[in-house]
């Protein structure tokens, strides 16, 4: 008697979501082909603040999803002790601008059992000596010792190695890969060179390009994807450990002492050219460096090593859109913000759904079907334009 052939699943996109799904599928016994346009981690996952958290006042379902996202990182850390180089839970601090307050956010987090504590400036100085306590809001700050960060390109490399060890095939530089749909069923993928690759199931995980790719198949996904950028600094001594979310800058350490910086105001300053090219004003880069220096102990001089710009995938209502695509049999999708925090858990749950055919109750609140599929696609979001990256005055490339 011959044993049944394993399910063949093609996954499009080697960011954190596609790679995690591929690794979990391969671990679960599927035959996996992961195809990606360029190199792994060349999208949002390569230029993410990647703060691991379930912070802020969000829906109960989203809060829970991020909590089990954090849980899977702790499991990963136990399974991979070497991950301590790129996965840290050294705590995170956030504070409000002087014209607002985080007291309500703190109360919400505490009411949900989240491990936040309120610190005044003196306590900030004692507990997070890498932070300039003078820069903290006069009302104080929210500190969570259990939050952390991950350097996604390292995690993606580790997941890829695991997937390949479990038999997955990875096709890089595949160009613009599309889902091959025939008679309403996903039957495989079409590579950039036109070659067809048959598969039993397809998973679409192309980050900010998911809405445009689904729109081409007649499926509407509300999209609020903006262009965003981060500044990566040269290494800083003494090492920064705490992730910072402050009114004017977010700061997170990298494994080698460099810092990644971004901010909403800086994001809004990106200029999108008619051809889709992104230009990051030099003043925004300088501003981020100054703001970061101001919030760090000792006000170190920070030097930009590079700027990385591109799409920041965000669904229209801000919450993940995950699971099967009802209009197309055999097709699943992942499209979300907070994809660093959610990377391991969403890959695991989607893989389980594909392998078993059983929907996960955890994903019920995050289905595409929550949107009215008959609604006219009023906006396709910025994901429709090309992911060209350019910076005005210092060299820039998507990392």
Ligand X SMILES: Cc1cc2nc3c(=O)[nH]c(=O)nc-3n(C[C@H](O)[C@H](O)[C@H](O)COP(=O)(O)OP(=O)(O)OC[C@H]3O[C@@H](n4cnc5c(N)ncnc54)[C@H](O)[C@@H]3O)c2cc1C
Question: Of 121 and 206, which has the nearer Cβ to ligand X?
Answer: 206
Question: Of 121 and 366, which has the nearer Cβ to ligand X?
Answer: 366
Residue 143 interacting with ligand X (CB under 6 A): no
Among positions 339-358, residues that touch ligand X (CB under 6 A) are: 339-341
Residue 18 interacting with ligand X (CB under 6 A): yes
Applying CB under 6 A, the span of 39-47, 78-86, 89-97, 98-106 interacting with ligand X comes to: 39-47
Residue 281 interacting with ligand X (CB under 6 A): no
Residue 133 interacting with ligand X (CB under 6 A): no
- List 54, 225, 336, 389, residue binding ligand X (CB under 6 A): 336
Contacts of 167 (CB under 8 A, 6+ apart): 26, 31, 32
Beta bridge partners of 35: 12, 171
Residue 244 interacting with ligand X (CB under 6 A): no
Neighbours of 372 (CB within 10 A): 9
Among positions 249-268, residues that touch ligand X (CB under 6 A) are: 262
Q: How far is the CB of 144 from ligand X (least distance, A)?
A: 13
Residue 189 interacting with ligand X (CB under 6 A): no
Question: Of 208 and 330, which has the nearer Cβ to ligand X?
Answer: 208
Buried b / exposed e over 67-79, threshold 16 CB at 10 Å, is bebbebbeebbee
Site string for ligand X, 293-332 (x = CB under 6 A): -------------------xx-------------------
Residue 207 interacting with ligand X (CB under 6 A): yes
Short-list 172, 179, 219, CA closest to 201: 179
Is the Cβ–Cβ distance between 243 and 93 less than 8 Å?
yes
Instruction: Write out the DSSP string of 186-254.
Output: EEEEE-TTS-EEE-SEEEE--GGGHHHHHHTTT----B-PPEEEEEEEPP-SSPP-SEEE-SS-EEEE-
CA dist 180 and 160 (Å) reads 24
Mapped onto helix, strand or coil, the DSSP state of residue 292 is helix
- Supply φ then ψ for residue 214, to 5 degrees: -75, -35
Nearest residue to ligand X by CB is: 15
Applying CB under 6 A, the span of 23-31, 174-182, 299-307, 322-330 interacting with ligand X comes to: 174-182
CA dist 367 and 333 (Å) reads 10
Buried b / exposed e over 132-165, threshold 16 CB at 10 Å, is bbebbbebbbbbbbbbbbbbbbbbbebbbebbbe
Residue 197 interacting with ligand X (CB under 6 A): no
Question: Of 236 and 307, which has the nearer Cβ to ligand X?
Answer: 307
Residue 170 interacting with ligand X (CB under 6 A): no
Which tokens is 374 given?
């008959």
Instruction: Write out the DSSP string of 245-283.
Output: E-SS-EEEE-TTS-EEEE-HHHHHTPEEPTTS-EE--HH
Is the Cβ–Cβ distance between 12 and 154 less than 8 Å?
no
Residue 209 interacting with ligand X (CB under 6 A): yes
Among positions 44-73, residues that touch ligand X (CB under 6 A) are: 44-45, 47-51
Tell me the number of residues near ligand X by CB under 6 A: 38
Q: How far is the CB of 126 from ligand X (least distance, A)?
A: 26
- List 11, 15, 94, 284, residue binding ligand X (CB under 6 A): 15
Residues lying near ligand X in the complex (CB under 6 A) are found at 12-18, 36-38, 42-45, 47-51, 174, 176-177, 205-209, 228, 230, 262, 312-313, 336-341
């Amino acid at each position: 008697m011959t044993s049944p052939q394993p399910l063949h699943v093609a996954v499009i996109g080697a960011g954190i979501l596609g790679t995690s799904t591929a690794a979990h599928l391969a671990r679960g016994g599927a035959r996996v082909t992961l195809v990606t346009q360029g190199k792994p981690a060349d999208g949002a996952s390569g230029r993410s603040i990647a703060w691991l958290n379930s912070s802020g006042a969000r829906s109960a379902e989203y809060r829970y999803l991020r909590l089990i996202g954090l849980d899977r990182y702790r499991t990963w850390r136990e399974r991979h002790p070497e991950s301590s180089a790129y996965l840290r839970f050294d705590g995170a601090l956030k504070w409000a601008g002087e014209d607002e307050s985080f007291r309500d956010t703190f109360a919400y987090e505490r009411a949900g059992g989240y491990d936040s504590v309120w610190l005044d400036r003196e306590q900030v100085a004692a507990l997070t000596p890498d932070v300039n306590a003078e820069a903290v809001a006069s009302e104080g700050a929210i500190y969570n010792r259990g939050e952390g960060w991950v350097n996604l390109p390292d995690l993606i490399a580790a997941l890829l190695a695991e997937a390949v060890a479990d038999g997955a095939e990875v096709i890089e530089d595949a160009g613009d890969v599309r889902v091959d749909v025939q008679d309403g069923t996903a039957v495989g993928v079409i590579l950039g060179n036109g070659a067809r690759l048959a598969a039993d199931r397809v998973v679409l995980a192309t980050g900010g390009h998911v809405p445009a790719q689904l729109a081409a198949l007649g499926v509407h996904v509300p999209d609020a994807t903006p262009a965003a950028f981060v500044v990566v600094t040269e290494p800083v001594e003494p090492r920064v450990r705490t992730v910072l979310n402050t009114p004017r800058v977010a700061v997170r350490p990298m494994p080698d002492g460099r810092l990644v910086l971004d901010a909403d105001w800086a994001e809004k300053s990106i200029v999108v050219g008619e051809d889709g090219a992104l230009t990051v004003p030099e003043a925004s880069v300088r501003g981020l460096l100054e703001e970061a220096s101001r919030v760090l102990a000792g006000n170190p001089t920070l030097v930009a090593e590079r700027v990385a710009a591109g799409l920041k995938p965000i669904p229209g209502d801000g919450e993940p859109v995950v699971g099967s695509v009802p209009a197309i049999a055999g097709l699943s999708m992942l499209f979300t913000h907070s994809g660093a925090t959610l990377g391991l858990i969403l890959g695991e749950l989607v893989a389980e759904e594909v392998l078993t055919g059983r929907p996960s109750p955890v994903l019920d609140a995050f289905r595409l079907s929550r949107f009215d599929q008959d609604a006219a696609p009023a906006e396709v979001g910025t994901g429709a334009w090309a992911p060209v990256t350019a910076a005005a005055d210092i060299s820039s490339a998507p990392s």
